[in-house]
Amino acid sequence: MFAFGFLTTGLAPWLMVSRSTPSTVGEFTSVPYEFEDYFKDPAEYEKAVYRGRDIYVREACWHCHSQYIRPVANEALFYGAVSTAGEYENKLQLPQLFGTRRVGPDLIRISGKYSNDWHFAHFFRPRDVVPDSVMPEYRWFFEKTDRFWVFRADGSSMCRTAECTYSADEAKDAIEFFQSDDAQRAQDEGRADPKHQYRTEPAWKPNNDGIAIVAYIQWLGSWLPNGGRPDPLATTVR
């Protein structure tokens, strides 16, 4: 009995997998527009997606998320198209990450459902975007940086660079000045810029791990139109 179990549930599946030739992921022919600020060519983007897959495994995301839509319990209505075997015949699905628990939602149809910024915010502090989320914070996907705040010298209008009455050109000029040697020299000599004042405050931005895990998450289901989810704008004409 033991030998039969070993052959049917151990050796046979191992031989099937070892003799199969997983296809390469052929869809990395371009960089999606939402990642053009991060990757200069498809090779960089592909490398990041593989890195994101490895981070997904390392952080045990598979412990709480599945990647398989079953043809039962109307899962297709909630998540999207039922999974098919062909979707998992590529190197990014080895090892397979079907998952066995759904503490969080299934992710195989997540591509494009949310923006990159939503995912960054969710990884940084999940309850900021999903109030009842039980997902932990992943602060190690981010690094501290400085954010410029620019003020008019007379104090009549205080605006963050990307907001309010400061035009994009004014903000750009101010930031270029504050980053220049002239600004440093004026500060060393105790002189204030006649037009602007500024200060910086700490901010957070995603590091390479943060960008990679979001690239991988956004890849899941990207091979299907609309990520495999029903088109919300589709209507039936009677």
pLDDT, average across residues 220-232: 83
**Ramachandran area for residue 135 (φ above 0: left; ψ -120 to 50: alpha; else beta):** beta
The three-state DSSP-derived secondary structure of the chain is CHHHHHHHHHHHHHHHHHHCCCECCCCCCCCCHHHCCCCCCHHHHHHHHHHHHHHHHHCCHHHCCCCCCCCCCCHHHHCCCCCCHHHHCEHHHCCCCCCCCCCCCCCCCCCCCCCHHHHHHHHHCHHHCCCCCCCCCCHHHEEEEEEEEEEECCCCCEEECCCCCCCHHHHHHHHHHHCCHHHHHHHHCCCCCCCEEEEEEEEEEECHHHHHHHHHHHHCCCCCHHHHCCCCCCCCCC
Percent of the chain exceeding pLDDT 70 equals 66
Confidence band, pLDDT 50/70/90 cuts, at residue 7: confident
What is the rounded (10 degree) CA torsion for 187, 192, 198, 201? Answer: 30
Contact 161, 220 (CB under 8 A): no
Confidence band, pLDDT 50/70/90 cuts, at residue 213: very high
The reported pLDDT for the residue numbered 183 is 60
pLDDT tens profile 68-97:
999 888 888 888 888 888 888 888 888 888
**Ramachandran area for residue 73 (φ above 0: left; ψ -120 to 50: alpha; else beta):** left
pTM: 0.71
CB neighbour list of residue 50: distance below 8 Å, 6 or more residues apart: 92
pLDDT, average across residues 148-166: 49
Confidence band, pLDDT 50/70/90 cuts, at residue 134: very high
Distance, C-alpha 112 to centroid of its chain: 10
Q: Encoding tokens for residue 93?
A: 């699905």
Q: How far apart are CA 222 and CA 215, in angstroms?
A: 11
Q: Encoding tokens for residue 159?
A: 């605006």
pLDDT tens profile 18-60:
665 555 455 688 899 899 989 999 999 999 999 999 999 999 9
Asked which of 65-69, 91-95, 234-238 is least confident by mean pLDDT, the reply is: 234-238
Q: Residue 200: is its pLDDT beyond 80?
A: no
Confidence band, pLDDT 50/70/90 cuts, at residue 168: low
Question: Which range is most confident: 11-25, 109-123, 161-175?
Answer: 109-123
The reported pLDDT for the residue numbered 163 is 40
Q: Encoding tokens for residue 45?
A: 């983007």
Q: Encoding tokens for residue 150?
A: 């620019």
Which residue carries 């599945």 as its tokens?
A: 66
Q: How far apart are CA 68 and CA 49, in angstroms?
A: 19
